[in-house]
C-alpha cells in the first residue's frame, strides 16, 4: 500500500544520487588525503585540501536548481489557472503515463438536467417526480447536482408547494456502500412514509413490490425483468437512471436505520443527462499523443459511462464493473487493467485499489476528481488533481488544483512537468559526472605532482563561479523530443552517465596537466602557483562548456539553442574566469597571471573536448537509447 506521505519517484531519486555522491566522498576523499600527505609531506595542508575537495564536490546548487526549476514551473502553471500545492508534483505530472479520472464534471459538462421521470413501465409520471422531489428537498446532507436538477425540474412543474405539506421526521443518509438515501416524512394528515432514492440495483434489492398503475404488486422475476428492460433502454441512450421506492407501512418510532429499507415498493425511475464536454475529446487525444492514457473510474452505471466514453474516443472494449473488480485477486486485476480503460459502478475504495494496481504495474498515475468519493484515489495517486469547486476534502488531498474544469490544462501541465524534469536532469547529470571526473583528476594529480594541484581557496572560488554559471539552467529550452513521452527517474542511467562522462572529463584534465607540465614547464614547487592557475581556469571553462554539451543530444548552438538566461549566466562566468586568470587580478586570489599563449591551448583542449563528447554521445545513445 502506498502511503500518502511517501516520497515520489523524483524525491527518492534525488536521495539516491545524494547518497551515491556521499559514498564516493567517504571512499575517495581519504584516498586523496593519504596520497597528498605522502607526496607533499604536509599532513595539515593535505587535510584542509581534502576537506575542501569534499565541500567543493558537493552539488550544493542542487536544492537551488531544484527549487527554482519547480517554482518556475509552478509560476508557468499559475498562468494557466492552475495552483500547485506541492512543488514536486510538477515533475510527477511530467512522468505521468496514466490519467485516471472521474466522469461527472471532468469529462462531462457538469450541468445535470432531469430528462425523464417515469413509472416502472417507462411511462411519464408526475408522481415519480413528486417523490424524487420530496426525497431531494428534505434530505439534510450535501445536495449534489442530481438533487439540484430534481428540485429545479419540480419547481417548473409547480411541485414546490409540496414542501409546505410535509415535515421531515428522520432520514437515513447516503453512503457509498448502500448507494441510496432515504427520508421519513409525515404529511398534513399525519400519514408517514419512507421515500428512498438511489442506484437501480441497490433500490431493486430492497423492494418486494412494484407499483403498477397505483397498485402494489409482488415483484416477481418476470416483473423484475421488465423493470430492468426499461432501465437498460434508458441507460443505453446515455441517461443516468436512478430508482425511486417508497413504503407507507412503517412503525411509530422516531429513529430509523438501514434495516427499515426493506420490503419497499418500487414506483419508478428518474433519468438525467450530463453531456460530454466538447473540449474533452480533443484533450484526451492530445494527452494520448504525449504518451498519457486516460482511464475512467466512475461510480455511475456502465451504460451511461459507455455512452460518454464512446463519444470521447476512449476504448470501451474491455470495460469492468465494481462487482467484477471485487472478484479479481490483485494478480488477476494487474492483467485486466492493461487493456481496460473504463471501470464503472465503483466504490471509493475500489477506485483506490485500481489506482494502486496501475502503480504496481510500474505506471506513474494521476487521478482527477472532485467529490468525497474521490478522496481515497486522490491520496493513492502519484499526483492528485482536483478543481476549485470540489468538496473540501478533495481539495485538501489533491496536489494540484485547477481553477477551471478543463482537461486541456492537463496537457499543458504534462508538458510543463516534462520541461521541469528535463532541466533538473540536465543539472544532475552535469553535476554528478563533473564531480566524479574532478575527483579522479585530483587523485591522478596528487599521485604525480609534488605539490597540491590547487589550493583550497582556488577550489572554493572555482566552485562558486561554476555554481553561478548554472543559475540559468531552470530557464533553459527543452528539445521537443523530450516532451513527447513520459520520462521516469532512472538512477542506474544517471550512474552510467556519471562514470562515462566523468572519465572523459578526467582525460581532458590529464591533457591539461601534460600541457602545463611539459609544454609550459610548470613542473616544480616554485612554479606550482602557475600550474594551479592553469588548471583553475581550465576547470571553470570546461565545466561551463559541459553545461551546453549535456543539455542536448544534438549539436549545441547549431541544432539546439540554449535559453538566453543560460547563455548569459555561462558567458558571464567565462569572462570573469578569463579576466581573473589573464590579468593582474589573479594575485588577489593567490593565483598567478597566465601567459596569453596558454589561451590558445585552452581553445585546442575545448575543441578536443567537444569532439570527444559529440562522438561519445552517439555511442551512448546507441547503447542506452536515451540521452536525458
Whether the predicted pLDDT of 2 surpasses 50: no
Distance CA 103, CA 492 (A): 39
Query: What's the confidence (pLDDT) of residue 278?
Result: 77
Q: Are 134 and 156 in contact (CB under 8 A)?
A: no
Whether the predicted pLDDT of 203 surpasses 80: yes
288-297, 397-406, 470-479, 586-595: least confidently modelled range: 397-406
Whether the predicted pLDDT of 191 surpasses 60: yes
Instruction: Select from 426, 444, 438, 614 the least CA-distant residue to 542.
Output: 438
Domain 113-273 grouped into CATH 3.40.1110.10: yes
Q: Where are the domains of the chain?
A: 9-81+412-624, 97-109+276-403, 113-273
Q: What mean pLDDT is predicted for residues 87-96?
A: 84
Range list of β-strands (E), 27-103: 82-84, 98-101
Whether the predicted pLDDT of 17 surpasses 80: no
Q: How do strand 113-119 and strand 264-273 relate by DSSP bridges?
A: antiparallel
Q: How many residues are listed for the chain in this entry?
A: 628
Instruction: Select from 443, 595, 430 the least CA-distant residue to 509.
Output: 443
Whether the predicted pLDDT of 57 surpasses 70: no
Task: Say which residue, 622 or 571, is predicted with more confidence.
Answer: 571
Query: What's the confidence (pLDDT) of residue 3?
Result: 43
Q: Are 518 and 593 in contact (CB under 8 A)?
A: no
The string of pLDDT tens digits covering residues 63-81 is 788 788 888 888 888 888 8
- Indicate which residue of 15, 16, 42, 102 is catalytic: 102
Distance CA 608, CA 613 (A): 9
Backbone angles phi, psi at 104, to 5 degrees: -65, 125
137-141, 147-151, 437-441: least confidently modelled range: 437-441
List residues bridging with 272 in a β-sheet. 114, 240
Percentages (nearest 5) of helix, strand, coil residues in the chain? 60, 15, 25
The C-alpha cell that represents 225 in the structure block: 425483468
The C-alpha cell that represents 118 in the structure block: 417515469
Instruction: Check if 97-109+276-403 and 113-273 are the same fold.
Output: no
Whether the predicted pLDDT of 93 surpasses 60: yes
List residues bridging with 365 in a β-sheet. 98
Q: Are 192 and 215 in contact (CB under 8 A)?
A: no
What secondary structure does DSSP assign to 131-157, as a single string? Answer: HHHHHHHH--S---HHHHHHHHHHHHT
Q: Which CATH architecture has domain 9-81+412-624?
A: Up-down Bundle (1.20)
Query: What's the confidence (pLDDT) of residue 4?
Result: 45
Task: Say which residue, 227 or 13, is predicted with more confidence.
Answer: 227
Q: What mean pLDDT is predicted for residues 91-103?
A: 88
Catalytic residue flag (residue 147)? no
Q: What mean pLDDT is predicted for residues 484-504?
A: 84
Backbone angles phi, psi at 563, to 5 degrees: -70, 160
Whether the predicted pLDDT of 493 surpasses 50: yes
- Residue 137 pLDDT class (50, 70, 90 cuts): very high
The CATH code of the domain at 97-109+276-403 is: 3.40.50.1000
Query: What's the confidence (pLDDT) of residue 48?
Result: 78
- Residue 251 pLDDT class (50, 70, 90 cuts): confident
- Residue 507 pLDDT class (50, 70, 90 cuts): very high
Whether the predicted pLDDT of 5 surpasses 60: no
Share of the chain above pLDDT 70, in %: 97
Q: Are 530 and 522 in contact (CB under 8 A)?
A: yes
Calculate the average pLDDT of the chain: 88
Query: What's the confidence (pLDDT) of residue 98?
Result: 95
pTM for this predicted structure: 0.78
Task: Say which residue, 605 or 467, is predicted with more confidence.
Answer: 605
Backbone angles phi, psi at 485, to 5 degrees: -130, 155
Distance CA 324, CA 345 (A): 10
Query: What's the confidence (pLDDT) of residue 108?
Result: 78
Q: How far apart are the first and last CA of the chain?
A: 31
List residues bridging with 170 in a β-sheet. 184
* Residues in CB range of 308: below 8 A, 6 or more apart: 103, 107, 108, 238, 276, 296
Whether the predicted pLDDT of 361 surpasses 70: yes
Q: What mean pLDDT is predicted for residues 589-598?
A: 95
Report which secondary-structure segment, H or E, holds 295: strand 293-297
Whether the predicted pLDDT of 331 surpasses 50: yes
Distance CA 505, CA 606 (A): 11
Query: What's the confidence (pLDDT) of residue 56?
Result: 62
* Residues in CB range of 608: below 8 A, 6 or more apart: 508, 511
Distance CA 170, CA 376 (A): 29
- Residue 451 pLDDT class (50, 70, 90 cuts): confident
Instruction: Select from 413, 384, 414 the least CA-distant residue to 399.
Output: 384
Share of the chain above pLDDT 90, in %: 47
Distance CA 108, CA 304 (A): 11
Query: What's the confidence (pLDDT) of residue 1?
Result: 40
49-53, 150-154, 253-257: least confidently modelled range: 49-53
Task: Say which residue, 250 or 162, is predicted with more confidence.
Answer: 162
* Residues in CB range of 1: below 8 A, 6 or more apart: 356
Q: What mean pLDDT is predicted for residues 529-549?
A: 94
Whether the predicted pLDDT of 10 surpasses 70: no
Amino acid at each position: 500500500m502506498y502511503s500518502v506521505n511517501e516520497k515520489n519517484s523524483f524525491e527518492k531519486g534525488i536521495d539516491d544520487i545524494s547518497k551515491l555522491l556521499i559514498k564516493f566522498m567517504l571512499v575517495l576523499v581519504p584516498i586523496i588525503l593519504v596520497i597528498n600527505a605522502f607526496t607533499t609531506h604536509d599532513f595539515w595542508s593535505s587535510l584542509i585540501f581534502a576537506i575542501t575537495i569534499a565541500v567543493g564536490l558537493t552539488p550544493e546548487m542542487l536544492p537551488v536548481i531544484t527549487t527554482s526549476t519547480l517554482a518556475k514551473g509552478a509560476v508557468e502553471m499559475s498562468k494557466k489557472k492552475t495552483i500547485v500545492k506541492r512543488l514536486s508534483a510538477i515533475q510527477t505530472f511530467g512522468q505521468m503515463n496514466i490519467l485516471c479520472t472521474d466522469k461527472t464534471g471532468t469529462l462531462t459538462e457538469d450541468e445535470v438536467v432531469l430528462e425523464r421521470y417515469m413509472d416502472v413501465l417507462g411511462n411519464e409520471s408526475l408522481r415519480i417526480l413528486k417523490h424524487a422531489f420530496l426525497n431531494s428537498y428534505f434530505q439534510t446532507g450535501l445536495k449534489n447536482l442530481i438533487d439540484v436538477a430534481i428540485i429545479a425540474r419540480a419547481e417548473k412543474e409547480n411541485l414546490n408547494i409540496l414542501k409546505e405539506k410535509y415535515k421531515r421526521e428522520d432520514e437515513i443518509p447516503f453512503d457509498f456502500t448502500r448507494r441510496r438515501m432515504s427520508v421519513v416524512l409525515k404529511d398534513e394528515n399525519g400519514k408517514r412514509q419512507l421515500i428512498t432514492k438511489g442506484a437501480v440495483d441497490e433500490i431493486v434489492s430492497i423492494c418486494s413490490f412494484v407499483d403498477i398503475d397505483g397498485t402494489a404488486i409482488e415483484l416477481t422475476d418476470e416483473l423484475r425483468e421488465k423493470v430492468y428492460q426499461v432501465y437498460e433502454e434508458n441507460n443505453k441512450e446515455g441517461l443516468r437512471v436512478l430508482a425511486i421506492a417508497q413504503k407507507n407501512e412503517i412503525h411509530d418510532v422516531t429513529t430509523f436505520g438501514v434495516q427499515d429499507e426493506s420490503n419497499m415498493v418500487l414506483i419508478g425511475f428518474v433519468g438525467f443527462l450530463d453531456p460530454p464536454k466538447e473540449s474533452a475529446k480533443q484533450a484526451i487525444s492530445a494527452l494520448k499523443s504525449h504518451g498519457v492514457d486516460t482511464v475512467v473510474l466512475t461510480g455511475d452505471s456502465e451504460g451511461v459511462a459507455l455512452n460518454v466514453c464512446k463519444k470521447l474516443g476512449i476504448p470501451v472494449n474491455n470495460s469492468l464493473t465494481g462487482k467484477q473488480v471485487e472478484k479479481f485477486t490483485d494478480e488477476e486485476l494487474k492483467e485486466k487493467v492493461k487493456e481496460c480503460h473504463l471501470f464503472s459502478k465503483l466504490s471509493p475504495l475500489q477506485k483506490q485499489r485500481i489506482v494502486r494496481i496501475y502503480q504496481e504495474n510500474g505506471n506513474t498515475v494521476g487521478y482527477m476528481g472532485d467529490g468525497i468519493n474521490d478522496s481515497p484515489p486522490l491520496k493513492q495517486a502519484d499526483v492528485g488533481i482536483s478543481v476549485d469547486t470540489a468538496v473540501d476534502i478533495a481539495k485538501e488531498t489533491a496536489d494540484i488544483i485547477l481553477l477551471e474544469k478543463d482537461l486541456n490544462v492537463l496537457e499543458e501541465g504534462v508538458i510543463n512537468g516534462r520541461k521541469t524534469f528535463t532541466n533538473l536532469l540536465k543539472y544532475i547529470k552535469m553535476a554528478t559526472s563533473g564531480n566524479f571526473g574532478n575527483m579522479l583528476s585530483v587523485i591522478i594529480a596528487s599521485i604525480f605532482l609534488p605539490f597540491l594541484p590547487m589550493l583550497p581557496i582556488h577550489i572554493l572560488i572555482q566552485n562558486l563561479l561554476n555554481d553561478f554559471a548554472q543559475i540559468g539552467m531552470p530557464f533553459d529550452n527543452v528539445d521537443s523530443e523530450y516532451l513527447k513521452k513520459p520520462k521516469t527517474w532512472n538512477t542506474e542511467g544517471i550512474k552510467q552517465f556519471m562514470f562515462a562522462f566523468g572519465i572523459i572529463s578526467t582525460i581532458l584534465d590529464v591533457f591539461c596537466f601534460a600541457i602545463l607540465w611539459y609544454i609550459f614547464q610548470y613542473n616544480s614547487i616554485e612554479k606550482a602557483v602557475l600550474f594551479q592557475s592553469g588548471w583553475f581556469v581550465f576547470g571553470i571553462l570546461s565545466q561551463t562548456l559541459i553545461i551546453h554539451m549535456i543539455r542536448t543530444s544534438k549539436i549545441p548552438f547549431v541544432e539546439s539553442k540554449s535559453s538566453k538566461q543560460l547563455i548569459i549566466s555561462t558567458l558571464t562566468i567565462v569572462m570573469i574566469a578569463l579576466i581573473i586568470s589573464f590579468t593582474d587580478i589573479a594575485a588577489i586570489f593567490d593565483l598567478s597571471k597566465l601567459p596569453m599563449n596558454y589561451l590558445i591551448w585552452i581553445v585546442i583542449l575545448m575543441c578536443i573536448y567537444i569532439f570527444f563528447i559529440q562522438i561519445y554521445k552517439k555511442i551512448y545513445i546507441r547503447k542506452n537509447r536515451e540521452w536525458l
